[in-house]
Structure 1
Amino acid sequence: MSRHSFCGSASPPVITLYDSPGTRAQTWVPNIWRIRFILNYKRLRYRTVWVEFPDVEATLRSIGAPPSAIRADGKPIYCLPVIVDPTRNPKAPQILSNTNTIAEYLESCYPARPVFPEGSRALQTLFVHYIQEVLAKPLLPIMVPLTHDRLPERTQTHFHGTSRETTPIPHPLPPGPQREQAWGIVKAQFDSLAIILDKNTGDGDGIVVQGHQVSYADFALCAMLLWIEQMAPHDGWSRVRDWNGGRWAKLRHKCKDYMDVL
């Protein structure tokens, strides 16, 4: 990728992005895709370190990464993405976890090619919250078991552990009315979002959230589309790409230049 100016050093840093693979070295987690989109869009140099789910906590503790969240009982939660950025001090690099924290850091430290155009941060944050809490919810009963079946065997075993904290993985919905009803609920959410985005038609292209130029909100939505495409290419993406006049395939095309996996 091309070189880009950055804060705090005289030569380009090599950021490390910690990611979790599917059955091969393939990024698929929506929250991690959001960070990869930002890195690619800002033309930052980086490399990927692949970590399977059973190794995430031990790996992150070993590099001194902060927990992504803290449970109500005080127990730290370690999950991906995590980045390590040696820009300001190679001997004491910045180590960040939590998707929102990383996105804010990258935007502040590398302001060129902003993913939050001036004055849009609050509205984009609200849009991303909508994607996570409203649009994605009906996808979970469909996508979680399909995703599980496409993960490395060792990761599947991890999720079927005997710990009381382990959430059982539901079985994939069988072909038939139950599956079609589930996809119908998903489509209703996409239809509602399409109506909202259509308000940009006339003073925008009607595809991206900001009207013409892709932004963080588009990356968050496209990350979810890529999750569907990669983990349910036949029963999922083959449906979604044609909904709403092909709008979601058009959004994917808008973001395709920022899908490199380095």
Structure 2
Amino acid sequence: MSADNSIIFYDIASGPPLRTFAANPWKTRFALNFKGVPYKTEWYNMPDITALRERLGVPANRTLPDGTPYHTLPVYQDNTKGILLGDSFEIALRLDEAYPGPPSLFRPSTIGLTAAFNAHVDGLFTKFASGLCVNMPLNPDALEASIAIFVKRAGLKSADEMGLSSEEHEKTLVSFEAALGELAKAYRHTGGTTDYFWRSGGTHKAQSQRPPTGREGAQPFLDGDSPAYSDFIVGAWLKMFEESTKPEDWQRIKSWQGGLWGKVVEALGPWTEIK
């Protein structure tokens, strides 16, 4: 079945070539491609997102530090099923409901656990995104207005406050490696109560402790030989960092924890098509 205008995925426009770069739209694109649902992408510059959501009647789904609501993407409009949603997690839930049968995004009785995992992973990556995602491929036609949006979201006075010094940048990378080391435990099925900890010391051998015997290896999917929505949550953030960090930073990130994060991105490759 070919894509038509009956199912529309609204994504944030990048510079040419048009492609997904933000984490939450990536979650939805992964989900749509995995389910095999035909759809068409419509691209909107960041300054135009509020008007789009208001025109569609989709309420804001985020808030600024001062409590002011703001609008972002994705939005999913399915005219065949009468679905109009503006939150990536809710979109994934409705995709499984509206298009049941394999493959399923959520395995039986895991929705609550996946929601908690989603919140945890979002918090982890968001902590480091503002300092490291300095190469977002924003559309040059709307660059100045887009940067102004990021400044406002961060509660800053100007874009000059957004950068990190070289020392701060390195400290951020070291802390990020430690945080991803903790997340890697989920891929090794060791949990958080084992007797090792990924300390903030970078890749130096004195600071890199080994997992318990028999749990050294980590698979690219959290459970089993195929992905579920939890895998797409992590993959979405990794894809954002792949697209939006300095190339040398991404090379470091994907090599951490034995190259686990590069393996995750590679394993999710079959569901990254830009339609």
Q: Which residue of 1 aligns with 2:32?
A: 39
Q: CA deviation at 1:154?
A: 4.1
Question: TM-score normalized by structure 1?
Answer: 0.82
1:199 equivalent in alignment to 2:192: no
- Kindly report which structure 2 residues correspond to 1:164-203, keeping only aligned pairs within 5 A, or say none: 167-168=155-156, 169=159, 170-174=161-165, 176-199=166-189
- The CA distance in 2 between the partners of 1:20 and 1:136, in whole Å, is 18
SS at match of 1:222: helix
SS at match of 1:212: coil
What whole-Å deviation, never above 9, does each CA across 1:98-126 have from its counterpart, x for those lacking one?
Answer: 12221211121112211101122222222
Q: Which residue of 1 aligns with 2:209?
A: none
1:258 equivalent in alignment to 2:271: yes
Q: Which residue of 2 aligns with 1:249?
A: 262
Structure 2, unpaired ranges of 5+: 191-213
Change over 3 Å in CA distance of 1:205–1:244 after alignment to 2: closer
Q: Which residue of 2 aligns with 1:227?
A: 240
Q: CA deviation at 1:138?
A: 2.7
Q: CA deviation at 1:63?
A: 2.8
What whole-Å deviation, never above 9, does each CA across 1:79-111 have from its counterpart, x for those lacking one?
Answer: 2110110113xxxx4221112221211121112
Q: CA deviation at 1:193?
A: 1.2
What whole-Å deviation, never above 9, does each CA across 1:207-247 have from its counterpart, x for those lacking one?
Answer: 31223320111101011111111112513211111111111
Change over 3 Å in CA distance of 1:159–1:233 after alignment to 2: closer
Structure 1, unpaired ranges of 5+: 4-10
Q: CA deviation at 1:67?
A: 3.1
Question: TM-score normalized by structure 2?
Answer: 0.78
SS at match of 2:220: coil
- The CA distance in 2 between the partners of 1:71 and 1:137, in whole Å, is 15
Q: Which residue of 1 aligns with 2:41?
A: 48
- The CA distance in 2 between the partners of 1:72 and 1:244, in whole Å, is 33
What amino acid is the match of 2:144? T
SS at match of 1:130: helix
- The CA distance in 1 between the partners of 2:70 and 2:256, in whole Å, is 37
SS at match of 1:242: helix
Report % sequence identity. Answer: 24
- The CA distance in 2 between the partners of 1:109 and 1:245, in whole Å, is 39
- The CA distance in 2 between the partners of 1:119 and 1:154, in whole Å, is 45
Change over 3 Å in CA distance of 1:250–1:65 after alignment to 2: same
Alpha carbon RMSD of aligned pairs, Å? 2.9
Aligned residues: 244
Q: Which residue of 2 aligns with 1:19?
A: 11
